[in-house]
Structure 1
Amino acid sequence: MQILDGKLAAIAIKEMLKNKISELKISGKKIPHLAAILIGNNPASETYVASKVKSCNEVGITSTLLRFDDSIPEQDLLHSIRELNDNDDIDGILVQLPLPKSISEEKVINTISSEKDVDGFHPINVGKMVLELPTFISATPYGIILLLQHYKIETTGRYVVVIGRSNIVGTPISILLSRNTAYGNSTVTLCHSRTKNLKEICLQADIVIAAIGKPKFVTADMVKEDAVVIDVGINRIKDETKKSGYALTGDVDFENVAPKCSYISPVPGGVGLMTIAALLMNTYNACKQKH
C-alpha cells in the first residue's frame, strides 16, 4: 500500500510554478494576481483562505484578500465582484464558500467573469469542460487529476466508482475521468445516496473516489484488494483528546481500508492540498491566457 501524499505532489507543482513565475519576473511580464473574497469569520473558511494566500506567496503569485462582514448586502458584494472583473491587474477571482444565507451562491458564481473564475464554478466553464474545450476545471477535480498524474496511476480502461454527485466534485470528476484524455478513458459509475447495491458496485471498482461528505462512509468490505482509493471528504468529528475538541476525518475508514489498497489518499494531507495546487495552476493559466 502506498500513500497518495498530497503534500509531496503539491510541493512538486508549487516548485514548477515558482520557476515559471520567476521567469515571468525576469522577462518583465505580468505576474499572476489572485483576488480572494472572504465573508464573515467562519473558522474553516478562515483556514482555507489563509492557506490559499500563503500558497500564492510561496510561488510568487500576487494575492489580495478582501474581507466583508457577513451582514454585507448581496448587491454590494456583487458590485465588488464586478469591480474585480473590470480590474485588468486581477487575473483570478475566488469567493470562499459557504456564503451567508442572505446571499445567493448562484448569483455570486454567475457574476464572476468566466475568464477569471479560477474555481471553475461558472456555468460557462462547466459547459466547456463537458464539451472538452479549454477552460478552468473545478479545483478539487483538477487536483485529483494532478494527484493521479504525479503518482502515474493508470486510468485508461479502468473501472472508476465515484460516490457523491455534487456539482463541484463528484459530477465533474466523473466527466473528466471518462473523457478521451491521458488521465481519462475510464468507465465511470456515479453513485449517490439513492444508489442501490452500492457495496456491490464499489467492490468492482479499480478506483474509488469518495466525495459524499459522510465520515468513514467507505468501509473495508466495500473495497476490493489492490484498489486505488481517493478520499475527498473533510469531516469534523468530536475528539476529546484534541485541544480543539475535534478531529478531521475523511469519507473513508482509512485505518481499515488502507491495508487492502494499492494506493490511498489520507485526510488531511491528500486531496485538500491538491485543491490549492490546482487553484494556483488555474490562476497562472488565467494570467498566461491574457498576457
Structure 2
Amino acid sequence: MPPSTPPPTVRRRRLGTELRRLRERADLSATEAAARLGITQSRVSNIEAGRYGVSADRVRAFARSYDCSDQVLIDALAAMTGERKRGWWEEYRDTLASGLIDLAELEHHATAVRIAQLINIPGLLQTTDHARALFREAVPPLLPHEIEHRVSFRIKRQAVLYRDKSYPYTAIVHEAALRMQFGGPAATKAQLEHLIDMSQRRNITVAVIPFDGASFPTSGHGVDYVHGPVPQLDTAVLEGAHGGALVDSAAQLEKYHLTMERMEKAALGPTQSRDLIHRIVKAT
C-alpha cells in the first residue's frame, strides 16, 4: 500500500479558510474563482480545505483575483506558506488527540498568548510532577508509559516561553486552581513556587482572580487566546479532555477577546498576584 498522506497542519488549514473567506467576500463561487485563476475548481476547493499547499505568489494571486486590498493581511497569509519541515509535535500525532497537536502548533507560531484557567494551572506553567499527577487522574486510566508520553509532550510545549525572542504570555488563573492539591502538598508547593518564579520572567504575566474578587464572564472551561500576526488570524482554543476546539470566526473571536479582557480586569495585578500565591505557599 502507498504511504498515507499526513493530515494538513492547522496552519495550512487556517490559510485555506482565510482564502475561502476572501473568495466569499468577493461573492465568487469556487468555480468562478477557478476561472479567474486559471486552475480547476477542485484545486481551489482542495487549497481551501488545506489538502494542497500553496506558494506565497499563489496567495497573492488569489488576493488580487478577490480584489483584496488589505496588504497587511495579504503579507501575513503569504508568510504562512512555504514550510516544508513539520514541527516536533508531529511525532506525537499518531498517539495524541489532534486538538493537542493543533494547540502546540498554534503556540509555536503565535505572536502572543493569553490563557484563562479556573481549576487548573496553565499547561505551559506546570511542573513535571504536577502534570504527571493530573494525567494519573485521567478517565479512563492511562498506562504508566502513556502518562510519561503526555508529560513529555506538555514539557516540550513549554519551550516557547524560553526562546530568545519569546512572545508575551499572560496567564489568568483563578485562586481555586492554586489551592488544588494535585500530587499532594509537596508537589503543590513546588508547583506554586515554580509559578512565582515564572511570573517574574520578562515575558510572562500571572494574574490571579481571588475568591473575593469581582464577577467575570466564563463558560467554565479553559480558554487559550492565541494572537496571530494580524487580528484576523487570531484563534481561540476552548480546552477539553481531548484537546482544544478551535474558534476563528470574527464574531467568536471578538466574544472571547472581550471575555479575556474582562477576566483580566477582575484579576489582581502581577505583584498582588505573587503575594497571594506566596500566602498560599506558606499555608500549604
TM-score range, shorter chain: under 0.3
The alignment's TM-score, normalised by the length of structure 1, stands at: 0.23
Q: Which has the higher helix share?
A: 2
The alignment's TM-score, normalised by the length of structure 2, stands at: 0.23
- Which has the higher Rg, Structure 1 or Structure 2? 2
Q: Which has the higher strand share?
A: 1
